[in-house]
Amino acid sequence: MSKAQQSRIFETPSEDSLSIETDGRTIRPAMALLTPLVAEGKLHLTEHGIKMRCIDAASVGAASITIHPEAFDTYDLDDELVVGANVSRLKTALRDARMGTRTNDDVTLELDESRTLVSIEREYDQTSVEITDELLALDPDALREEPGLPGIDQHAQWATTVDVDALHDVVDHIGADDVDIRERDGDLLLGGRATLEESNDYESVAVFDSDLEKLNGGTEGVSSRLSMAYLWDVVNALKQAKVTELTLRWGDSWPAAFDFKRIEDETTLYEGRFVIAPRIQEGN
């Protein structure tokens, strides 16, 4: 739906607006990155892409995300602006955009300071249908202040690249309340323990055949204990986002960082960092 067609039904976008043409296969995975920690956030619409920094209400998880203009078919920005958005509702509005190999629906987004228009075009055997949702914007000043991410790079002692699918499957299998990220004999180890209703302890450990990089004088056995609830939400979002590169960094009872990128045909579509603060372990 063109701007002229939209204006017949919805109010004309303001002079400062962003128009995007894309498809379900691109936009839906990207939206998965915006929602594991918060339902609302500030979207910075810039010439370098859509940027968002957020922290959850408990100040346990934080994120910094950039979706580059090159991710989209078109990225037409009049002037830079900040939009308050219900990102959870935006993700829901896009869920009907098919993203299969043969069925990849066209999607158009129009964003300004007052609202976002989401248009999905779907082809059928005998017709085509265009569905448009209007989502009212939030007041950016009423939203939580954006975080400054902790100094992971100065305190991390170990780093390694991780296969996203492997990490997802391991976290899904462990099923404990907390998960320890640990260096052991030069490999990455993830382990968790839970007490079942029958009072029998359950423990699960996974060792990744990994190439660890020592940082800041990293010492053997360094570990950080993370909440499974936060870890699962982040890892699941990374899988849904189809990230192609993931680096994990951690230190001794220090926040763990998940640095990610999605690259296709040597073009970075989006990238960023999730940070999860550690649980306080007994004796610390």
Each residue's pLDDT expressed in tens, for the chain with a length of 284 residues? 444 454 445 566 666 899 999 999 999 999 999 999 999 999 999 999 999 999 999 999 999 999 999 999 999 999 999 999 999 999 999 999 999 888 999 999 999 999 999 999 999 999 999 999 999 999 999 999 998 876 777 788 999 999 999 999 999 999 889 999 999 988 999 999 876 665 557 789 999 998 899 897 778 888 999 999 999 999 999 999 999 999 999 998 889 999 999 999 999 999 999 999 998 655 44
> How far apart (Å, rounded) are the C-alpha atoms in residues 109 and 87?
13
Backbone angles phi, psi at 277, to 5 degrees: -75, 150
Q: Residue 34: CB partners within 8 Å, gap ≥ 6?
A: 41, 52, 54, 65, 87, 90, 91
Residue-range domains of the chain with CATH:
3-142 (3.10.150.10), 153-252 (3.10.150.10)
- Let me know if 157 is exposed, middle or buried by CB neighbors in 10 A (0-12, 13-18, 19+): buried
> How far apart (Å, rounded) are the C-alpha atoms in residues 226 and 237?
16
> How far apart (Å, rounded) are the C-alpha atoms in residues 226 and 278?
5
Question: Which pLDDT score, from 0 to 100, does residue 253 have?
Answer: 83
Question: Which pLDDT score, from 0 to 100, does residue 21 have?
Answer: 98
Buried b (16+ CB within 10 A) or exposed e, 25-44: bbbbbbbbbbbbbbebbbbb
- 3-state secondary structure string, the chain? CCHHHHHHHCCCCCCCCEEEEEEHHHHHHHHHCCCCCCCEEEEEEECCEEEEEEECCCCCEEEEEEECHHHCCEEEECCCEEEEEEHHHHHHHCCCCCECCCCECEEEEEECCCEEEEEEEEECCCCEEEEEEEEECECHHHCCCCCCCCCHHHHCCEEEECCHHHHHHHHHHHCCCEEEEEEECCEEEEEEEEECCCCCEEEEEEEECCCCEECCCCCCCCEEEEEHHHHHHHHHHHHHCCCCEEEEEEECCEEEEEEEEEEECCEEEEEEEEEECCCCCCCC
Tell me the sheet residues that pair with 216. Answer: none
CB 55, CB 147: distance < 8 Å: yes
> How far apart (Å, rounded) are the C-alpha atoms in residues 171 and 237?
13
Backbone angles phi, psi at 56, to 5 degrees: -75, 170
Question: Which pLDDT score, from 0 to 100, does residue 243 have?
Answer: 98
Question: Which pLDDT score, from 0 to 100, does residue 42 have?
Answer: 97
Question: Which pLDDT score, from 0 to 100, does residue 136 have?
Answer: 96
Strands 213-214 and 201-208: unpaired
> How far apart (Å, rounded) are the C-alpha atoms in residues 200 and 192?
14
Q: Which amino acid is at 235?
A: V
